[in-house]
Amino acid sequence: MMPIWTKSGEKHAVTLLKVQDCHVLRYVSKEESGGKTAKLLVGGKNVSPFSKPESAHEIFVEAGVPRKQKVTTFNVTDDAIIKPGTPLYAAHFRPGQFVDVTAKTIGKGFQGVMKRWGFKGQPASHGQTKTHRRPGAISTNQAAKVYRGKKMPGKMGNIYRTSFGLKVWRINTKHDIIYVNGSVPGHTNCLVKVRDSKLPTYKDCNKNPPFPTFFADGDEELPEDLFDEEIFQFTDPSVTYT
């Protein structure tokens, strides 16, 4: 995470996400998948092919791509279908766009009720016998049962969670890095899924995105760094107020 300053002198914290060897693996049509839209399977970071049997390599061999560590699905409209095997780059996103980021949260192991659900526990003194971090009562008398989904101790973390509506401040096309506002679930160097935001406030935010994606062998030549309009770039002199 890094600080970033706007032209009016305000500071925002930013997370850096690297797009590492992303390729489209397979196209699944609407009828095949049984959903409302067609799906595209996309694979992430490259990994050695020797730790899995040959049967697991079928998708990657069809697309002509080395084995990927993570495979995710994206719901896609029919006019945005991409041929399997095309690489995806960070320039697919543009600064000023809003994005949802999904990842597995940091695993905390088996945790008690105070850390996991934020219960208040009991006082430390004044006669409490061996009861300082316990849940207390778990149901009422009339219910005569414990309801399903009762908050109790258990394994915490290591589940998929999404942060919605994160602004993209800057894109580095040379190293394929996306600068995303705020924090993102997961530990450092974990695998993350970045998707255009589905929040209703940001529906019409993205003007002229690269559609269906940014092709590296196309005619468009992008500069090394793409900045949002409000960012203070370090090539400018210091901020002054009038």
Partner 1 sequence: RVSSDGKPPKFQPPPKPVIIDRKTQKEERRFLSPEFIPPRGRTDPLKHYIERKDMIQRRKVFNIPEFYVGHVLAVTTADPYASDKSNRFVGICIQRGGKGLGATFVLRNVIEDQGVEICYELYSPRIQAIEVLKLEKRLDDNLTYLRDALPEYSTFDVNMKPVSRMEHEEIPVNKLQVRMKPKPWSKRWERPKYNIKGIKFELPEHKMKAAQKWNQPWLEFDMLREYDTSKIEEKIRKELSEELEK
Residues near partner 1, by CB under 8 A: 2-3, 5, 9, 11, 16, 18, 172, 175, 177, 188-189, 232, 234-242
Nearer to partner 1, 2 or 152 (CB): 2
Nearer to partner 1, 12 or 116 (CB): 12
Nearer to partner 1, 150 or 175 (CB): 175
Beta strands, E only, the chain: 2-5, 11-18, 22-28, 38-43, 71-76, 87-88, 98-104, 109-111, 154-156, 160-172, 177-181, 192-196, 225-227
Nearer to partner 1, 40 or 231 (CB): 231
Q: How far is Cα 43 from Cα 41, in angstroms, rounded to an integer?
A: 7
**Angle (nearest 5°) at CA 82 between 76 and 86:** 130
Query: Least distance in Å: CB of 188 to partner 1?
Result: 6
Query: Least distance in Å: CB of 59 to partner 1?
Result: 28
Query: Least distance in Å: CB of 241 to partner 1?
Result: 4
Query: Least distance in Å: CB of 22 to partner 1?
Result: 17
3-state secondary structure at position 32: helix
The CB density around residue 91, as the number of other CB atoms within 10 Å, is 20
Query: Least distance in Å: CB of 86 to partner 1?
Result: 24
Tokens, residue 226 = 């793409």
**Angle (nearest 5°) at CA 167 between 72 and 156:** 55
- In degrees and rounded to multiples of 5, residue 80 shows phi and psi of -115, 25
Cα dist. 27→22, 33, 90, 102, 221 in Å?
15, 10, 21, 21, 28
Beta strands, E only, 152-204: 154-156, 160-172, 177-181, 192-196
Q: Which helix (H) or strand (E) holds 30?
A: helix 30-33
Query: Least distance in Å: CB of 233 to partner 1?
Result: 8
Nearer to partner 1, 60 or 93 (CB): 93
The CB density around residue 46, as the number of other CB atoms within 10 Å, is 16
Nearer to partner 1, 5 or 117 (CB): 5
Query: Least distance in Å: CB of 225 to partner 1?
Result: 10
Nearer to partner 1, 110 or 241 (CB): 241
